[in-house]
Amino acid sequence: MNGLYIIIFFIIISIIKILLFDKKEENKIKINNEYLPPLRIIKYIWIFIVFILFYMYNKIDKVNKNNTLIKIIILLFITLCILYEEITQDKTARFFKNYNYFILAFFILLLCILSQKVDCKIYYIIPILLWFMYICVLTLLDDLNIIQLYYVDSI
């Protein structure tokens, strides 16, 4: 039952943060929205991602309460995702790009750990992987100067 309380707490925090405290307009680095869905859709994608991750956390908690390391890694990953805006606030475009790559690499590591240590349905996480891969493909295309995803807003 403790896992359920943690899930509810983090989901409420993430919904409040995503819906009420959006700071994208304050960043000096702007994102070219031509390649991304509207911001309101992205907010719902993040709520969905957090929900799926906490669903996986709860499944792990029910199956094997001794997997505290895996649960800590999931909570760390969720925290890094929820704090994306705060971590990238007033950073360079290069920092944004590196953070996107880091999140994808961390998520793939999490998938590997989950598939090896926990008997749970990994296919629940496929939508999350597809979203992170899409963002990283856009980031890579920006790195290769094929598109311009990040730009500095001249004031």
Considering only the C-alpha atoms of the chain, give the largest distance between any 2 of them, rounded to a whole number of Å: 53
3-class DSSP assignment, residue 117: helix
Which residue, among 11, 25, 37, 8, has the nearest Cα to 131 in the 3D structure?
37
Q: Nearest 10 degrees: CA dihedral of 44, 88, 11, 103?
A: 80
Per-residue pLDDT tens digits for 14-36: 667 666 655 544 555 677 778 88
Greater confidence (57 vs 97) lies with 97
Please, what is the end-to-end C-alpha distance for the chain in angstroms?
A: 51
Per-residue pLDDT tens digits for 35-66: 888 877 887 888 888 888 888 887 777 777 67
Cα–Cα distance between 74 and 77 in angstroms, integer?
5
Q: What is the mean pLDDT of residues 123-134?
A: 86
Name the pTM for this structure. Answer: 0.77
pLDDT tier for residue 123 given thresholds of 50, 70 and 90: confident
Cα–Cα distance between 144 and 151 in angstroms, integer?
14
Contact 74, 53 (CB under 8 A): yes
- Phi, psi (rounded to 5 degrees) for 29: -85, 125
Cα–Cα distance between 33 and 38 in angstroms, integer?
7
3-class DSSP assignment, residue 151: strand
